[in-house]
Structure 1
C-alpha cells in the first residue's frame, strides 16, 4: 500500500538541491509528483528528469534575487519552499580562529538565504492563502562543537528563532512554517570528513565515524542518519498530510540530544 503525500502538481522550491540532503529532498518530492525547482552554485552531473535546475549563489543577495525572480517568472508563485542550503566553512581552533569574515560567511550561508527567499516568495503565498515553508536547522544549535562549529551553530540557532517568529506571524494567514533539526547525516561531505578524521587517527572509515559520534556524545541508534530518512520527514511535513503541524521544530538525530 503506497502512502500518497497528496503533493502531485504542487510547486516546490528546494535550495541546495544538488547534493546530500537537498538532492534527496528534490528526488523525493519529484517522485511524489511535485513540480520541483532547485538551486545550487553549480548544476548536477546527473540531473533528475523533470526537475528544473538554476545555478545561483544564494549566499549573496544577488543570487537569492535571481532565484526568486526565476520562480515568479516561471510559476507566478509557489506552494512549498524548503531551505536546505547550509554548511560550515569555519576553520578549527575555537573562538579565536573565527574572524569577522568567517562569522558573516556563516550567517550568509545558513541564515540569510532563507530570510531573503521567504521575503521574496511569501507575498504570493499569503495572497493565495496557502503554502508551506520548511527551514533545515541543526541540532548543533543546542549542541555546538566549540572546536569547529561555533559560528555555524549560532547561525542555525538564529535560523530556528527566525522560523519560530515567522510561523507566529504567517500561520494564521494560511502559510505553515516549520523547521527540521537533523543530527549527523551521512552525506558526501560528511563521508569525506570522516575519512579525513580516520586518516589522521590511523584508522579506517568506521573508526572515523566513531570519532565523530564520540564528539557528539554518542548516537544511541549507533549510526548517522541517511539523507533519505531526513528527506522523508521533510516531504511529509511539507505535504497536506501534515496540515495541523506548524510553528514547531522536528529533531531527527538518532537520539543524540537527550533532552526534549
Structure 2
C-alpha cells in the first residue's frame, strides 16, 4: 500500500528508504511513497535571506568597528543539503560570521566605508567555496552597516570639515588669481585710454546710487587737478617792499647835578 504526498513548486522531495538515500529526487506535484519504509524530506529551493549578526573587529589600520551584513543563498542540490551537512542554514550562518570577521581584519577603514563592492565580492567568495559542498549556492552578500566609535566619528567629522575648508580656500585663491589677471589686463587698457577710467568711475557711482538710494560724495579726479595746474598761467611774483630801519629812541637829556649838602656847607663857611 502506498501513501500519497504533495511536493510544492518551490520544493524538492528527497526519499530515504530504510535510511538509505534514493537516487531520484521527487519533483513538484503528486508523488507516492511506501509507508513505514520510505521517508520523504522536503527541501525549500527558494532564495533565503539571512541576516548576519553584527561582528566586532579591528581593521588593518587599528580601528575598532562593528559590521553587520546580509546573505542571500539557495539550495541547488537537495540531496547534498540533507546528507552532507546537519543543518545547512546554521552552517551558512556560522561561515558568514567567521568570513565577515576575517574581512574586517584584512581591510582598512576607508575600504569598509567607500569600497564595499569589492569587500562584498571577497566575502561572497569566502562563503561560497565551502557552501558548494553542502549543495548551497551563495547568491549575494551585502555589508549593511559599519558602526564606528564616537571618538572616531568626531575625528572623521573634523577631517571632513578641514578638507572642505581647504578646498574652499583653494577655490577662493584660484578665483582671486583669475580676477587679478583680468584686472591687470583692464588696467593696461585703461592706462592707454584715461577716459575709460573716468567712465568706469561714473558707472560705479551710478550703480551704487541706484542700489543704496542715498547721497554720494563724488570724488574729484586727481588727474584733472594736475591738468588744470599745468594749464594755469604762472602769475609774476611781486618783489617784497623795502622795510624801514628800526627807529632809534632819542637820548634823554642829562640832568644837572645838584650840589650835595656837604658842598653847600663848605661854601657857606668860606663866605663867613
TM-score over 0.5 for the alignment? no
Higher share of residues assigned strand: 2
Query: TM-score, normalising length from structure 1?
Result: 0.21
Whose Rg is larger? 2
Query: TM-score, normalising length from structure 2?
Result: 0.21
Larger relative contact order (CA 8 Å, sep ≥ 6): 1
